[in-house]
Amino acid sequence: MIDRHLLPAQRALLAPPARMLVRLGVTADQATLAGFVLGLSAFVALTAGAFGTALLLVLANRLADGLDGAIAREVGSTDRGAFLDIALDFAFYALVPLGFALADPAANSLAAAVLVASFVGTGSSFLAFASVAAKRGLQTADYPTKGIYYLGGLTEGAETIGLFVAMCLWPAAFPVLAYLFAALCALTTLSRWHQGWVAFSNR
């Protein structure tokens, strides 16, 4: 919902370190893979109940995710980079609730399952729309530099990361936060289904 408003500030902040990384020979794909390793480390920390460490690793993962795009804008984006970015992001988003479930199965498992299911709804509707949009040659004005058609909604990247931060800060509130966010994800999914129904109705 707020990603497009944060994007200009994010690009301005990340451009200088991205240029430095380019000079050091770091590629966008390397930044993406490093970010995923950080995300896996956050998952391990969550399963151990080390929520403060997990929070730092989640934030580091998101920094790397921003830097890979900034590096790509400096040297040119690739289809492989766009693929890696979205595929590993979706895996990371699922690992965080799984980590909370493993940390306290009795308290968190059901809420984590509901949240992951809601992520499947938002993710599948996002990718289904992007697939058909690519077939039709459509582009989005709000996210012109994204590797695929980027369909917004109530629960985008910024909101999801805000959720993960809140969960790490207040782990006992995980079930409540998970259920509330899952409800917002359901609304996002329904809105994307409607957008697809309308946008692709002519043929």
What is the domain partition of the chain in residue ranges? 3-199
What local confidence, expressed as pLDDT, does residue 19 receive? 94
For domain 3-199, the CATH class is mainly alpha
What local confidence, expressed as pLDDT, does residue 4 receive? 66
Of 138, 114, 146, the closest CA to residue 195 belongs to: 138
- Tokens representing residue 44 in the block: 């391990």
8 Å CB contact between 157 and 86: no
Measured CA to CA, the distance from residue 2 to residue 157 in angstroms comes to 9
Cβ count near 75 (within 10 Å): 12
What local confidence, expressed as pLDDT, does residue 146 receive? 56
What local confidence, expressed as pLDDT, does residue 199 receive? 83
What local confidence, expressed as pLDDT, does residue 149 receive? 59
Measured CA to CA, the distance from residue 150 to residue 140 in angstroms comes to 7
154: DSSP letter: S
What local confidence, expressed as pLDDT, does residue 169 receive? 98
What local confidence, expressed as pLDDT, does residue 77 receive? 85
What local confidence, expressed as pLDDT, does residue 142 receive? 57
Measured CA to CA, the distance from residue 110 to residue 129 in angstroms comes to 29
Per-residue pLDDT of the chain (203 residues; tens, 9 = 90+): 665 666 777 788 888 999 999 999 999 999 999 999 999 999 999 999 999 999 999 999 999 999 999 999 999 888 899 899 999 999 999 999 999 999 999 999 999 999 999 999 999 998 998 888 878 877 766 555 555 656 667 788 789 999 999 999 999 999 999 999 999 999 999 998 998 898 888 76
By the 10 Å C-beta count (0-12 exposed, 13-18 middle, 19+ buried), 199 is classed as: middle
What local confidence, expressed as pLDDT, does residue 150 receive? 61
Q: What is the pTM of this model?
A: 0.87
